[in-house]
A and B are shown apart, each in its own frame.
Chain A
Amino acid sequence: MANPLANEQALYDKIKDEKITVPLIIWDLMYRYLGDEISAITQITLSYWKYNEPIPVSDAKKIKEHTKKINDMVRKILHHEKIMDEREKIEELKNSNTKLSPVIHELFFHYIGNDVYGIELIVGFYLDPSDENPIPVEDAQKILNKTSTMKQFMDRLREATQQEVTIIGEEAS
């Protein structure tokens, strides 16, 4: 998992003290696209890890594709002003002049960016074109740890920037 930032608590305190929020449209993008890609990596990995089996090369390649999509989406969320994309939400984001707080930017890049990079490294190691190999169970465990960390980060960020979202569970209960 990504190592905690040295100033992590200070960043979360700043979010709380300054009531920094994440625009709803960015939450929507995060959960719509990142949510699907992270979930797909989890389910592929879990379907082998749970039964103590290595991930075959064919499915390791699927994980690699999902990490590419996450990277692409992270880039779009963090630098949406620079992108061209036909997807409706991206257009909406581009047109909204929405700015992501630098604090959120730092946390988001650190946690999602590093964990996706970590998964890419693991998968890339076993998908070396000259010698492709299944991903062993112990490294599948590392991939699951990273998807869990990404979810934990999103949950913690959601709690820290609570204004629009924390009421949902209570309203549903």
Chain B
Amino acid sequence: MDKSRIKILIVDDEEDIAHFTAKILQYDGFTAFKAMDGAQALAIFEKERPQICLIDVHLGYSKIDGMDVLRKIKATDKNTECIMITRITDKDTIAEAKKLGVKEYLLKPLASEQWLEKVHVAVNALQGGAK
């Protein structure tokens, strides 16, 4: 699969995380979008229909939090691969995300390229589904 055809949405209220994560993914050949709040994330999702979403559970003061974004994305397209970025204290949300079909989690703080490995796992899952 041509990497540039894989669209990835990063949702994180910390601008530098969203911006530089998108930049790394773009360098890596993917088409990446960033959103800093829930409403922006859903608008981009509707318009671009990314196949993979990295979603921070906690979106600061956004009226729509990361779990709302996940629910709406999954309600629209349950095949979208979502990777949730969580904290260790999020056990209830992690359990709910799993019920919604989330297979991969990232615990903040992000360090090294572990998060990118999770993206590649999601890409492989997409490719598996496409076969």
Which chain A residues have a beta carbon within 8 Å of chain B's beta carbons? 24, 27-28, 31-32, 34-40, 42-44, 46-47, 50-51, 62, 66, 144, 147-148, 150-152, 154, 158, 164-165, 167-168, 171-173
Contacts and interface: CB of A to CB of B under 8 A. Distances in A.
Interface string B80-113: 0000000111110011011000000101111111
Contacts of B21: 43
Interface stretch (B12-20, B45-53, B66-74, B123-131): B12-20
17 contacts: A36-B108, A37-B109, A38-B109, A39-B17, A40-B16, A46-B24, A46-B112, A50-B24, A147-B112, A148-B111, A151-B111, A165-B88, A165-B89, A168-B90, A171-B94, A172-B91, A172-B98
A39 B88 contact: no
A42 B88 contact: no
Nearest to B108: A35
Contacts of A165: 88-89
Given A38-B110, A168-B89, 8 more contacts: A27-B88, A28-B89, A32-B87, A43-B20, A50-B27, A62-B16, A150-B109, A154-B109
Contacts of B94: 168, 171-172
A32 B16 CA distance: 15
Contacts of A172: 91, 94-95, 97-98, 105
Q: Helix, strand, loop or mixed for chain A's interface?
A: helix
A33 B27 CA distance: 28
Given A35-B87, A147-B109, A148-B112, A40 B58 contact: no
A156 B16 CA distance: 26
Contact of B23 (A31, A40, A47, A164): A47
A35 to B, nearest CB: 3
Contacts of A34: 109
Given A47-B23, A50-B24, A171-B95, A31 B17 contact: no
Contacts of A152: 111
Given A40-B17, A47-B20, A144-B112, A31 B89 contact: yes
Which 4 A-B pairs give the minimum distances between C-beta atoms?
A35-B108, A31-B87, A38-B109, A43-B20
Contacts of B108: 31, 35-36, 38-39
A151 B20 contact: no
A27 B112 CA distance: 22
A42 B24 contact: no
A107 to B, nearest CB: 16
Residue of A32, A147, A168, A171 with most partner-chain B CB within 10 A = A168
